Structure 1
Amino acid sequence: MQESATASNPKNLIEGATGKWEVVIGLEVHAQVASKSKLFSGAATAFGAEPNSHVSLVDAAMPGMLPVINAECIAQAVRTGLGLNAKINLKSVFDRKNYFYPDLPQGYQISQFKQPIVGEGEIEIDADGETLTIGIERLHLEQDAGKSVHDQHPDYSYVDLNRSGVALMEIVSKPEMRSSRQAQAYVTKLRTILRYLGTSDGDMEKGNLRADVNVSVRKPGDQLGTRCEIKNVNSIRFIGQAIETEARRQIDILEAGGKIDQETRLFDPGKGETRSMRSKEEAHDYRYFPDPDLLPLELTMDFVGELEASLPELPDAKKERFTQEFGLSDYDATVLVAERASADYFESVASGRDGKVAANWVINELFGRLNKEGKDIADSPVSASQLGAIVDLISSNTISGKIAKDLFEIVWSEGGDPAEIVEARGMKQVTDTGAIEKAVDEIIAANPDKVEQAKAKPTMIGWFVGQVMKVSGGKANPQAVNEILKQKLGIE
């Protein structure tokens, strides 16, 4: 990864014993391609299968077995490149990256080096109180390795080749991030884009998205420092912790008069430390050369154009449309577009209704309850049509906001049609001004001291509103209650 200088932002500097330091961060994100079969074989990619049950003769590197490119993986890589506003290279080459490891049966990994399928692109992120554009260096396709298993026997390690040959997209950023928050925002945004495109599920718990984090530190304005690479960080929270930990380690060494060795490290979240894994390899250590079993990959403009025409609306475009079409704040729109399923749910609720009211119910009531119970939007007990019906009942003044929350609870727990529930359970809002006026008169008569206080301090009217709502079981129309109280108390 080439490093480039970027202007320092004083907000992101780290205080050390000898002054302030700047951290420079670049990320290599490995995302498993959403495909039913592997990059060069027909073996399945489904997660959770019995060890070594999804292994073809190609994956096991049996003599004479030749790789065949999976066309869907190529299409998925191009879609991703288009979603990253990146250059699509019409000609790319697969190379052999040579190294020995027990879970790599071939003794080399088929990857891409000098001629990747996707060139430079960019991602826009919001972090540290500003909008930043982070450059993408490249995206290339490569095989995943298998997995060494060390906890099945006291004396032996085993190898599971189910992942061997699974297609990965390695997305390499430029070293333009200057804080752990920016790196976390970058990975979050990248994962969102991948999910919108359907090119990777981005599931970090399953290892389908993981990051190698490159970290170096320098005094502001100095040349770039020696970087260390933290391998295979598999959660956004750990990415932030690994950067903070590694930056502090390097600063402590430099301030003590030492020097940073370029190396590959691992992050131990339990101990809150990074530890050395091996000295950092350079490209020449891998002896890259074009794979003799695979011809150069040549794409046509028509192929790329067809994929581009089929792309979905992406998060940034959707966010802008939500703010304009529904009048949402930037914050609300950002929350709603974070996941494609959430955005689709909101849009269904908001269709033909007040967008701000719909957003309030989706974000505060629905998302709040889903988070509390650890559920995903796909598992929501309240459908978009049910929530839309609740919003309709509020808009028509059939129910009050308080009753709506009770109704939401019933629909969440029991299901059913909101309008029918309101009718059957007598939950309709009281709009009969005569009945409301009677309740107001009784409360005023019973509380002469509060009346005098309200006349002297008009904000006291809220106490009377609360009493009327209590007497009516929350069914009185709040607007009507306010108007009648103001009239009776002589408050403008």
Structure 2
Amino acid sequence: MSDIYSKYETVIGLEVHAQLLTESKLFCSDSAAFGGAPNTHISAITMGHPGTLPRMNRKAAEYAIKLGLACHCDIEKDNYFARKNYFYPDLPKGYQISQHTAPICKNGYLTISTDAGTRTVKLNRIHLEEDAGKLLHDQDPQYSYVDLNRAGVPLVEIVSEPDLHSGDEAYAYLTEMRRLVRYLEVCDGNMEEGSMRCDANISVRLKGSTTLGTKVEVKNMNSIRSVKKAIEVEVKRQIDIIESGGTIIQETRSFDAATGSSFSMRSKEEANDYRYFPEPDLAPFHLSDEFIAQIKASLPALPEELIERYTMQYGLTEYDARVICDDKATAAYFEEVIKATSHYKAASNWVSGPVKSWLNEQGKDISQFPVSPALLAALIELVDAGKVSFSIASSRILPAMIAEPGDPLGIATRLNLLQDNNADNITPIIDEVLAKYPDKVAAFKGGKKGLMSLFVGEVMKLSKGKADPRLTNELLAERLKS
């Protein structure tokens, strides 16, 4: 980066909207499921017809508290909703029911890891609100259509402090937040379907300055990668304007992922007047200590906790631990494997290696993997006992177990794959290999010790992979001394 850009510090705050995985909407029994024909998940309450009354979804509050506790937030015990008044075609009531001055979760933080290290990002709040509907602009050349299926679906809005300083940090933050909501099973985190959405408030200032620059909000980013790219594009745009003597205008911009550029949507010179006032049709609700304690007790082991345990207790590298904890189902599978074997590093290598490769090739997730954790652990034990090599286990035995799950020892025996650890059987093969390569033997004795792998490879080839590699190495070393 040139000196022009390195003079500046980037300041970013993210607003993440996550749709909660409740069966019904926030204030009525209409289905909150994704999809469905347009305007089929609606009722008089969703439409805000006169005489209808909203009723609070208890499960939505539970999910918000769950997320808040996982993010180390303070839980607000006395809550109420407010009306946020603004007009938009897909907002059927003409206002949105949201939390304003009393968010259900305050403060807190999220831990992220980048190439620069691990640090915490401060949160401002997590609050509950209902979603708006959706405008469809591609159904007709002359008209835009309105689909209200999404209207009223429960959301949490997760607002960070302006505590991020690069596109890489924003990428790490969103990746961690998505992983967290999936672990908690409060949101599916699918940005492509709109169930997790992000707006970025971006500003720049000279390094050393404590005054925030004029912020620009960037919207309409449908992937974590797009958020990172949009931030990088916007930071460059702002610095270029300042360096050319211009002034940053507070505005909302939209990001076009196809072109990698943004364009202005509207100016935000002054704050919008949403005319907030307490929602008159919903009573305030109080959260008891017992209710919060029950939710806290129900929290699963979270990535932070698992990574610490895997590195400190099981001796995995942080990288290996993070790969295992990338999603909850993989971590759960790994947990079951290590209940049946104490070879933790080998278990990690198998789950993140051959198992993950097969899943990627098949386009499946680990819940669809046909080999049970107990059988995979038995295969790991078979390799550790020296009865088969890792190569044979991964290339021959595991595929056989996938095709027809069964005991790996039985499969290895049936396919005649058990390693030969009888020195009387391996020694003649070693003599044959050394006789075949007299020049290589001389070179090895002359100091080219790397040739050992050639000799081992040839022995394995002639033995059809059945020679015990460890015994082969020992016998070769003895033969090559003479």
Pair in the same fold by TM > 0.5 = yes
CA distance in 2, matches of 1:128, 1:476: 42
SS at match of 2:266: strand
1:353 has 2:342 as partner: yes
Name the CA shift for 1:248/1:88 in 2 (closer, same or farther; >3 Å): same
Q: Is the 8 A contact 2:181 2:189 kept in 1?
A: yes
CA distance in 2, matches of 1:32, 1:282: 29
Q: Deviations over 1:415-442 (max 9, x none)?
A: 4443322121111111121110111112
Tell me what 1:280 maps to.
268
Q: Is the 8 A contact 1:18 1:255 kept in 2?
A: no
Instruction: Within 5 Å, give how 1:196-211 maps onto structure 2.
Output: 196-211=183-198
Identify the match of residue 367 of structure 1 among 335, 356, 359.
356
CA distance in 1, matches of 2:300, 2:436: 62
- By how many angstroms is 1:232 displaced? 3.5
Q: Deviations over 1:294-327 (max 9, x none)?
A: 1222111111111111111111111111112321
Code of the residue aligned with 1:448 in structure 2: it is: P
SS at match of 1:116: coil
1:243 has 2:231 as partner: yes
SS at match of 2:433: helix
Code of the residue aligned with 1:473 in structure 2: it is: K
Tell me what 1:4 maps to.
none
SS at match of 1:152: coil
- By how many angstroms is 1:284 displaced? 5.0
1:81 has 2:68 as partner: yes
CA distance in 2, matches of 1:140, 1:169: 5
Identify the match of residue 156 of structure 1 among 143, 148, 153.
143
- By how many angstroms is 1:285 displaced? 1.5
Identify the match of residue 114 of structure 2 among 124, 127, 141.
127
Instruction: Within 5 Å, give how 1:223-242 maps onto structure 2.
Output: 223-242=211-230
Instruction: Within 5 Å, give how 1:335-484 maps onto structure 2.
Output: 335-351=323-339, 352-406=341-395, 407-413=397-403, 415-457=405-447, 458-484=449-475
CA distance in 2, matches of 1:15, 1:298: 54
Name the CA shift for 1:71/1:18 in 2 (closer, same or farther; >3 Å): closer
SS at match of 1:49: coil
Code of the residue aligned with 2:302 in structure 1: it is: L
Moved more, 358-367 or 453-462: 453-462
Q: Deviations over 1:40-75 (max 9, x none)?
A: 010111112111111121111111111100011011
Q: Deviations over 1:340-396 (max 9, x none)?
A: 111111122222330001111111222233334433222334442332222121012
Alpha-carbon RMSD across the aligned residues, in angstroms, is 1.7
Q: Is the 8 A contact 2:5 2:239 kept in 1?
A: no
SS at match of 2:456: helix
CA distance in 2, matches of 1:230, 1:414: 51
Name the CA shift for 1:19/1:240 in 2 (closer, same or farther; >3 Å): closer
Code of the residue aligned with 2:408 in structure 1: it is: P
State the TM-score, normalizing by the size of structure 2. 0.96
Moved more, 18-27 or 256-265: 18-27
Tell me what 1:144 maps to.
131
Code of the residue aligned with 2:316 in structure 1: it is: L
CA distance in 2, matches of 1:349, 1:159: 49
Q: Deviations over 1:230-264 (max 9, x none)?
A: 12322110010010011111111111111111111
Q: Is the 8 A contact 2:45 2:52 kept in 1?
A: yes
Name the CA shift for 1:18/1:39 in 2 (closer, same or farther; >3 Å): closer
User: Number of paired residues?
Assistant: 478
SS at match of 1:232: strand
State the TM-score, normalizing by the size of structure 1. 0.94
The runs of 4+ residues in structure 1 deviating greater than 4 Å are 281-284, 413-416
- By how many angstroms is 1:202 displaced? 1.1
Tell me what 1:102 maps to.
89
Moved more, 397-406 or 416-425: 416-425
Structure 1 residue runs without a partner (length 5+): 1-13
Q: Is the 8 A contact 1:137 1:174 kept in 2?
A: yes
CA distance in 1, matches of 2:7, 2:269: 30
CA distance in 1, matches of 2:254, 2:72: 32
Q: Is the 8 A contact 2:5 2:236 kept in 1?
A: no
SS at match of 2:7: strand
- By how many angstroms is 1:221 displaced? 1.8
Name the CA shift for 1:128/1:443 in 2 (closer, same or farther; >3 Å): closer
Q: Deviations over 1:92-141 (max 9, x none)?
A: 22111111111101000001111111111001111132111100100000
CA distance in 1, matches of 2:76, 2:181: 19
CA distance in 2, matches of 1:27, 1:370: 33
- By how many angstroms is 1:174 displaced? 0.5
Code of the residue aligned with 2:140 in structure 1: it is: H
Instruction: Within 5 Å, give how 1:193-342 maps onto structure 2.
Output: 193-222=180-209, 223-280=211-268, 285-342=273-330
1:190 has 2:177 as partner: yes
Structure 2 residue runs without a partner (length 5+): none
Instruction: Within 5 Å, give how 1:17-32 maps onto structure 2.
Output: 17=4, 20-32=7-19
SS at match of 2:42: coil
SS at match of 2:320: helix
Name the CA shift for 1:393/1:58 in 2 (closer, same or farther; >3 Å): same
Q: Is the 8 A contact 1:217 1:250 kept in 2?
A: yes
- By how many angstroms is 1:22 displaced? 1.3
CA distance in 2, matches of 1:359, 1:256: 53
CA distance in 2, matches of 1:431, 1:392: 16
Tell me what 1:64 maps to.
51
Code of the residue aligned with 1:40 in structure 2: it is: F
CA distance in 2, matches of 1:171, 1:182: 16
Tell me what 1:9 maps to.
none
CA distance in 1, matches of 2:196, 2:91: 20
SS at match of 2:207: coil
1:37 has 2:28 as partner: no
- By how many angstroms is 1:408 displaced? 2.2
Q: Is the 8 A contact 1:15 1:21 kept in 2?
A: no
Code of the residue aligned with 2:126 in structure 1: it is: L
Sequence identity (%): 47
